[in-house]
Structure 1
């Protein structure tokens, strides 16, 4: 029986051999209909037909020998087809489906031939079973070999692409510089894909006008170019020059659609736009460019420009794998270019906002002489939230503020502005430094809740110091901020050099935004002429320098500081900062001044109503001593009302203090914590007009609270003040 089966199988093969082309056509037709992706590439089309021919020939030859498939090898064309399919990015499911379709079609034709040849039903079934079993075994063996070739080629392709892409990730986008990123893309392209690469960006994008306008021609600027030939002689356009793309040309279409294009360039067949382009004609005419890739640079849904890859030395034209690889590295470069563009724009906006929120000039005040500096970060992180402020307070005092918002960019700058405004508002009510930071901490926590941020999303540090030129002392509290450097002078003597410099001895509280943790005010004396240096951590910390070294340099510069605070600021920045600092820097220098006894007059009072007239007489006499008789009427009114309120509603000890500086300040202190209120008195009311009269007479007035009570103060402008 087996002899009859083998004989019939040989007979079937002999009868089918003349119809081999018919068999191949049937196989190709069925695969073309059901696996259309194979026919998208010319080389795959050729290999698919050749593989079908070799498969049919191998099967027929095997039938003629007895259908023994042990040790069978897949035809070379089938192996080549599997490899090329992998190199074109095809799927293994397509390869296996092609085998199934071919098997079904070929088996059907062989069974049909067997049915015509064999009349005995039992023998026909036996031959059919032998054909089915043998064909499945053949398909299993050959498809396994093809799949192995496919996987090997795919792994090699993916490994090559991965290596190039990894290298591109490492080499492209090393800085937030548009020109450098474009140059890195061009250099990467010439090393792995092309003989010459150019990178052009839309002029409108570089001018930050957004996407290209709809017009007949697009203006591009040559940003970078690179070639295997020295000097990049293939192009007539130098970097920085502009040229136009006509609508409908290849580069314009690629740029508009975001789809890459591949062109073969021959003398007989060159795109019309290439022949008409002054920017591209030298490529083909002078250097024999034969293949071109046009890769649009798109990022975040918008066109930025186009990268062009050319080959003239490498004889092989660009294939699909080259196209995919060029598109992958170009798309990465486009994101980096867009990041650089947005960084430049955001940095400029944030820096403008930052500078607009910082004080344009520090107020001139008798209490301190000040000098300030702000330096934005030169790092990719962008502008931060460092700030400083100098706030005049009542009683000739001055508040010195330095702070740092965690984060970078517009958000940090805007947050800085909000905190600076909050500090100024809290300073107006004359809170102690620790109380002010407690309220500022509440402000930050409220901002966190309003914006739905976590406790670590909005955070800041702040140092608030108050210098009193009358008492010659400084009170400060810190919310996570570095303490100031202090260079005191020798009391009652000229300054010595080098100055002794130390950092203020005070507790550092938690950063703002944590909530529930206390702050503490420290107080220390400062002789006249002492130097205070308030700074943010960017001044003393840097990636390449130890913190202790930064602090030492800061002390050394302050120790040798001369009379000019501006020069000292410049020396500090020159000594401590690199050309591109890694963090923002805010610096505030203050030299203390003192108000002597000839500018301050104090009178102790009791709760006796007769003290009101005594206070008026004291004020009048002091004004005469200061040659300010023109202020006598208003000052007597202010002193009378403030002392009357203290006697009526306050507690002893009560005192009157008059301070002459840029303004005339009258202060009445008592031991009560009750706060006076300005109210409107009715026509027949006997009281309620005192503070209203004070408010009308004085330029400014207010209340500040101390550990022992309160102080009500009123300021008047001097007669010659402008």
Structure 2
């Protein structure tokens, strides 16, 4: 090496005047020693020349000499820290730079430049400048050599754990931070050394020695240091503590997740479980949600517990644990959680403020026990060491409490954890209060709906009936589906099923009005198409001036009913005739006695109030023992059928299933076609038809002769004697006499008398007239007009029914022992 090259080679890192040159042969044997080297280490040349370089170094660094020489042969040089033994003094830390010493003849040799780390102007001067630059920096900075051993670090790095700067020299990261996942960090350093591409923004999460109970997060950046020839000398890296930022991000993520996952339904229990699911394992190892008893039923919560109260009982609504079997749960779901006086949950309920226990007494008694007190445990047995209690408060009302426990993770709950818990528990409390209010409204609507539906279907000789109603789920709310069974004159019966659009109390109220209107129209004995026509006129919106209301509120009473559907069926058990009409509603299905199922080809009229063509009816004869199935759209609204199946094919298949009774069959049909909580209301009315026997019906043709009245009375009395109803003979004679006399006197065409014995005695007189008689209240001086008045006074009910070729005047008398 020329003299003019040596400063150029070493001057960039060392001052030649300060560095001590030493010559080595290819095997690391000292072949040349200088006065500067003697002043630096204290050895004269005779004691050093001929010895191995390793003999001058401490044990750990002496073992590295073969690796250093191999690196020199591969890379043409090496630079790093070595610790040398000084004669008569302590070991000295040296910055060593090895480069090739080329000669024109002879074997290859190495030139080693030694510089004391604590003195000189080369690397040490750079270190001094760096220390002055980063002395007050909060960023940890370090330099490692190509063996990933610390060459230099600042004081800030020590705050992240590990040894002080002077104790790190020559050590690797694993030696300074035992237990830390250093393999991933060193992998980044090796990649930077190999590729020369810096790595920025690398995040490392773990537990360091300075904070063993809490995870810390560091952001690191790595840059390769090179010599003047571009060869790697080491890695310069920085460390920034981002633990707080990461916790803040986790808190925001947890709050976002709570906003997305809590309150997705209006079910109290489900909402409480969503709260527990969000908090585990992100915040706690075990979470329990206990609600006041009144809350679960939609009621207003009672006031806070009195200070002297013996115990406070709540209902366990939800809990969640990191362990699948939930070993921390002393109280099972749905059971009563009883809290002792003075316990943290009781204080939390009484004050409405959260409580936090960083460290629980392992021998302390738990806060809750089940209703029977069969299981109690200490905190030590439950393996929990830290707890929080947060009240569920919304709109100034306390709904219950949420308790958080930690048992697996070593860190205790801190103030930030409590603040985070309060944030998303308050959100959950609003959702729970919304669910509570909805539960209250839904129960009120359900009570109204149930009160407006038939409490008990009457027992009739015409049909055996069964009905099933299933309200919609909590998301869509209660609807306005309904059904009814209405006894008509002449032992006939009307079967009605309908639905009102919308949900909630308004729909239930509209359903009640519509059902009342149907019953009123049914009492007029109108044909099915006329009943629907009158309903349509009742529901159709009217102008404000016709309603007598104010501007802007027209149709308030009837708007909910517009678009309603209804099917009206009249069945006559005397001859098995069945007439029906529909308004925007599915046609009934008929199950014949042999099991054959078919759907009535019923002309579909428009929904009520929508306007359109007039309603049409169909009439047919149904065999005795057939079953009529009337249902709303909700029965077939759920898509649970197999591919290729239509709604009617599903219903047909379900109707073919046998059952021991009509009630069982009705329930099984709904279970097969609709879920437990359907999206729309489901109403199903099934009626098995019966026929009146020949001994229950008697009829006679009467001539248009006043003398026929006496014959009609005698004939009726003989029939009553055959039926064993002699006690009704007097009234029946009077009714027959009055009705037949009126037909002969005022009507034209043939006259027929018919008696029907079912649960009442029905007397019918048919004539060809088109005018209905009217009940009069004659004055004392009037000589006539008292016939129908007597009939109305002596019978249970009477009326007029129009048929295509005339009219029928009828009257009913209760049988002996029958209810009025």
TM-score (norm 2): 0.58
> RMSD value over aligned CA atoms?
4.4
Quote how far apart the aligned CAs of 1:208 are: 5.5
Residues 364-410 of structure 1, C-alpha deviations (whole Å, 9 max, x = no match) = 32222323333444564444433322221111211112223334444
Alpha-carbon contact 2:798-2:810 (below 8 Å) kept: yes
2:590 to 486, 489, 513: 486
1:184 to 274, 299, 308: 274
Is residue 682 from structure 1 mapped to residue 772 from structure 2 by the alignment? no
Quote how far apart the aligned CAs of 1:681 are: 1.5
Quote how far apart the aligned CAs of 1:179 are: 4.0
Is residue 477 from structure 1 mapped to residue 565 from structure 2 by the alignment? no
Is residue 669 from structure 1 mapped to residue 766 from structure 2 by the alignment? yes
Is residue 643 from structure 1 mapped to residue 733 from structure 2 by the alignment? no
Alpha-carbon contact 1:202-1:305 (below 8 Å) kept: yes
Alpha-carbon spacing, 1:203–1:508, altered in 2? closer, same or farther (3 Å)? same
CA distance in 1, matches of 2:313, 2:659: 56
- SS of the residue corresponding to residue 432 of structure 2 reads helix
CA distance in 2, matches of 1:318, 1:712: 87
Alpha-carbon spacing, 1:566–1:155, altered in 2? closer, same or farther (3 Å)? same
Alpha-carbon spacing, 1:657–1:293, altered in 2? closer, same or farther (3 Å)? same
Alpha-carbon spacing, 1:711–1:306, altered in 2? closer, same or farther (3 Å)? same
Alpha-carbon spacing, 1:275–1:516, altered in 2? closer, same or farther (3 Å)? farther
1:660 to 738, 741, 757: 757
Aligned to 1:697: 794
Aligned to 1:120: none
Alpha-carbon contact 1:256-1:303 (below 8 Å) kept: no
Is residue 400 from structure 1 mapped to residue 400 from structure 2 by the alignment? no
Residues 419-453 of structure 1, C-alpha deviations (whole Å, 9 max, x = no match) = 33332222122121122223333444589978826
CA distance in 1, matches of 2:657, 2:685: 17
Aligned to 2:466: 371
1:541 to 633, 637, 656: 637
Aligned to 2:43: none
Is residue 523 from structure 1 mapped to residue 622 from structure 2 by the alignment? no
Alpha-carbon spacing, 1:160–1:374, altered in 2? closer, same or farther (3 Å)? same
CA distance in 1, matches of 2:609, 2:799: 29
Aligned to 1:334: 429
CA distance in 2, matches of 1:310, 1:242: 16
Alpha-carbon spacing, 1:476–1:229, altered in 2? closer, same or farther (3 Å)? closer
Alpha-carbon spacing, 1:484–1:718, altered in 2? closer, same or farther (3 Å)? same
Residues 616-647 of structure 1, C-alpha deviations (whole Å, 9 max, x = no match) = 45434544555545444322321221123233
- SS of the residue corresponding to residue 639 of structure 2 reads coil
Alpha-carbon spacing, 1:614–1:339, altered in 2? closer, same or farther (3 Å)? same
1:706 to 774, 798, 803: 803
CA distance in 2, matches of 1:527, 1:232: 61
Is residue 202 from structure 1 mapped to residue 202 from structure 2 by the alignment? no
Residues 122-166 of structure 1, C-alpha deviations (whole Å, 9 max, x = no match) = xxxxxxxxxxxxxxxxxxxxxxxxxxxxxx999999976664344
Quote how far apart the aligned CAs of 1:463 are: 1.4
Alpha-carbon contact 1:699-1:717 (below 8 Å) kept: yes
Alpha-carbon spacing, 1:160–1:450, altered in 2? closer, same or farther (3 Å)? farther
Aligned to 1:295: 390
Stretch moving more, 472-481 or 236-245: 236-245
Quote how far apart the aligned CAs of 1:608 are: 5.2
Quote how far apart the aligned CAs of 1:503 are: 0.7
Quote how far apart the aligned CAs of 1:243 are: 3.9
Alpha-carbon contact 1:605-1:655 (below 8 Å) kept: yes
Alignment map for 1:434-445 (pairs within 5 Å): 434-444=529-539
Quote how far apart the aligned CAs of 1:324 are: 5.5
Is residue 213 from structure 1 mapped to residue 213 from structure 2 by the alignment? no
- Compare the two structures and name the one with the higher helix fraction: 1
CA distance in 2, matches of 1:487, 1:237: 51
Aligned to 2:572: 468
Alpha-carbon contact 1:234-1:283 (below 8 Å) kept: no
Aligned to 1:193: 283
CA distance in 2, matches of 1:663, 1:213: 58
CA distance in 1, matches of 2:779, 2:338: 80
Alpha-carbon spacing, 1:158–1:606, altered in 2? closer, same or farther (3 Å)? farther
Quote how far apart the aligned CAs of 1:484 are: 0.9
Quote how far apart the aligned CAs of 1:304 are: 0.6
- Compare the two structures and name the one with the higher strand fraction: 2
Quote how far apart the aligned CAs of 1:551 are: 2.5
Aligned to 2:606: 510
Stretch moving more, 531-540 or 333-342: 333-342
CA distance in 2, matches of 1:236, 1:559: 49
Structure 1: any 5+ residue segments left out of the alignment?
A: 1-74, 78-151, 489-494
Alpha-carbon contact 2:480-2:507 (below 8 Å) kept: yes
CA distance in 2, matches of 1:396, 1:241: 55
Alpha-carbon contact 1:393-1:427 (below 8 Å) kept: yes
Which is greater in Rg? 2
CA distance in 2, matches of 1:330, 1:531: 54
- SS of the residue corresponding to residue 281 of structure 2 reads helix
Aligned to 1:115: none
CA distance in 2, matches of 1:530, 1:408: 34
CA distance in 2, matches of 1:424, 1:334: 46
CA distance in 1, matches of 2:314, 2:460: 55
Alpha-carbon contact 1:472-1:525 (below 8 Å) kept: yes
TM-score (norm 1): 0.66
Alpha-carbon spacing, 1:172–1:314, altered in 2? closer, same or farther (3 Å)? farther
- SS of the residue corresponding to residue 579 of structure 2 reads strand
1:423 to 506, 518, 523: 518
Alpha-carbon spacing, 1:228–1:675, altered in 2? closer, same or farther (3 Å)? same
Alpha-carbon spacing, 1:537–1:677, altered in 2? closer, same or farther (3 Å)? same
Aligned to 2:27: none
CA distance in 1, matches of 2:555, 2:427: 33
Aligned to 1:242: 337
Alpha-carbon contact 1:236-1:279 (below 8 Å) kept: no
Is residue 279 from structure 1 mapped to residue 279 from structure 2 by the alignment? no
CA distance in 2, matches of 1:227, 1:468: 64
Quote how far apart the aligned CAs of 1:465 are: 0.5
Alpha-carbon spacing, 1:689–1:446, altered in 2? closer, same or farther (3 Å)? farther
Quote how far apart the aligned CAs of 1:458 are: 6.1
Quote how far apart the aligned CAs of 1:684 are: 1.8
Alpha-carbon contact 2:749-2:768 (below 8 Å) kept: yes
Higher relative contact order (CA 8 A, sep 6+): 1
Alpha-carbon contact 2:748-2:769 (below 8 Å) kept: yes
Quote how far apart the aligned CAs of 1:467 are: 0.6
- SS of the residue corresponding to residue 191 of structure 1 reads coil
CA distance in 2, matches of 1:431, 1:711: 12
Alpha-carbon spacing, 1:308–1:697, altered in 2? closer, same or farther (3 Å)? closer
CA distance in 1, matches of 2:332, 2:591: 57
2:254 to 138, 145, 164: 164
Aligned length: 560
CA distance in 2, matches of 1:235, 1:392: 57
Alpha-carbon contact 2:267-2:474 (below 8 Å) kept: no
